[in-house]
Amino acid sequence: MTTRLLGAVIFVIAALFVSGATSYDAPFGDVLGPAVFPIIVGIPAMILSASLVVWPGGEVAWPRPERLARQGASLAVLLGYAWLLRPLGFPLATFLLLALLGIILDGPAWKSAAIAALIAPGLWALFDKGLGLPLDVLGTWF
C-alpha cells in the first residue's frame, strides 16, 4: 500500500514537473532550449512511478507509533535548531540540540544533558577558535 501511495505521489510530482517544463521557452540560445531535457527526464519518472502504482514491489514495514513519534520529534528538534541557531547563538542552541536528540535516541536524560553541556562549548571552541569557522557565541536575542 505504501509503495502504491508513494508511487502515486511521485507520479503527480513528475507530471507537474513535465507540464511545468513545457512552458519554458527561450527565443534565443541553443537549438534544444531549456524545456526538452526536463521532459526527457520527467517522462521516464512518470512511467516508472506509475508502474510502481500498478505493480508495487516489496513490502514496507513502518516503525511502531511510539518510534514514529520519536522520529517526528527528532525532525522537529532539527528544524528548531535551524531556526534558533542565529537567535540563540551556537553554544546554547547546540546544547539544546545535543541534549534533546540524546533523549529522543533513548539516552538517559541527565547524562544526555551533561554530555551536551560539555560537547556544545567544545564544538564551538573547536570550530570557531581551532578551525577558524566563525560561529556566534551569543545570538541576536541577547
Partner 1 sequence: METLSALAGGFAVALTPLNLTLLLLGCFAGTLIGALPGLGPVNGVAILIPLTFAFGFDATSSLILLSAVYFGCMYGGRISSILLNIPGDEPAIMTTLDGFPMAQQGRAADALAISGVASFVGATVSVIGLTLFAPLLARAAIYFGPADYFALYVLAFATIGGIAGVDPRKTLLSAALGLMIACIGIDPITGIPRFTAGNYHIYDGVDPIVALVGLFAISEILVLLEKRGKERAATIRVQSWLPDFRAIWSTRGAMTRGSLVGFVAGVLPGAGASLGAVMSYAMEKQVSGGGGTFGTGDPRGVAAPEAGNNAASGGALIPMLSLGVPGSGTTAVMLAMLVSLNVQPGPLLFAQQPELVWGLVASLYLANIALLVLNLPLIGLFTRLMMVPTWALMPIVAAVSFVGVFSISNSIFDLELMIMFGALGYVLRKLGVSLVPLVLGLLLGGDMERNLRRAMSISDGDWGILLSSWISVVLYTFTALFLALSVWLAIRDQRRAKLFPENRTSK
Q: Which residues contribute to the site for partner 1 (CB under 8 A)?
A: 2-3, 6, 10, 14, 17, 20-21, 24, 26, 28-34, 36-38, 40-42, 44-45, 48-49, 51-52, 57-58, 60, 62-63, 67, 70-71, 74-75, 78-79, 81-83, 85-86, 94, 97-99, 101-107, 111-112, 115-116, 119-120, 123, 127, 131-133, 135
CA-CA distance, 60 to 63, in Å (whole number)? 10
Cβ-based burial of 59 (10 A; exposed 0-12, middle 13-18, buried ≥19): exposed
Minimum CB separation of residue 138 from partner 1 in Å reads 17
- Judged by beta carbon, residue 40 or residue 142, the one nearer partner 1 is 40
Q: What are phi and psi of 92, to 5 degrees?
A: -70, -45
Nearest residue (CB) to partner 1, 33 versus 142: 33
Return the sign of the alpha-carbon dihedral for residues 77, 80, 86, 92. negative
Q: Closest approach of Cβ 137 to partner 1, in Å?
A: 14
Beta carbon of residue 142, minimum distance to partner 1 (angstroms, whole number): 18
> What are the distances in angstroms from CA 42 to CA 14, 19, 33, 46, 52?
5, 9, 16, 6, 15
